[in-house]
Amino acid sequence: MSEPKVQHEQADNEPRLYPEDQAKVDAFVSSGVNSVQRKPFKPLRLVFLLVAVVTGFSLLSQVIARWAGIY
C-alpha cells in the first residue's frame, strides 16, 4: 500500500490529504466494522450497573461471613 501524500502549508481547518487520498480514507472508514451503527453510550446505565454489582457482592460477602461464623 502506498503512503498517502500530505499537503503542507494548509490552514488549520482544511484537510491535509490530497482529494484522492482523502477519498480512499473516507471509503475505508465507511466500510466494514467502521460502518456499523451503534446505540449511543449511556454512562448512567453503567454507573447503576456498577453500583448494583458492588452492592450484590457486598451482600454476598456478608452472607458468606455469617454462614461461616466469622461475623
How confident is the model over 16-55, as pLDDT tens digits? Answer: 889 999 999 888 887 777 667 788 999 999 999 999 999 9
Integer angstrom CA distances of residue 38 from 18, 26, 31, 33, 34: 30, 19, 14, 11, 10
Residue holding cell 454462614?
A: 67
Domain extent listing, the chain: 1-37, 39-71
Residue 60 has pLDDT above 90, yes or no: yes
Which one is predicted more confidently, 5 or 46? 46
Integer angstrom CA distances of residue 37 from 22, 23, 33, 53: 22, 21, 9, 29
Residues 6+ apart with CB under 8 A from 25: 4, 17
In eight-state DSSP terms, residue 42 is -
In eight-state DSSP terms, residue 5 is P
- Residue 14, pLDDT score: 67
Residue range 51-65: mean pLDDT, rounded: 97
Residue 11 has pLDDT above 60, yes or no: no
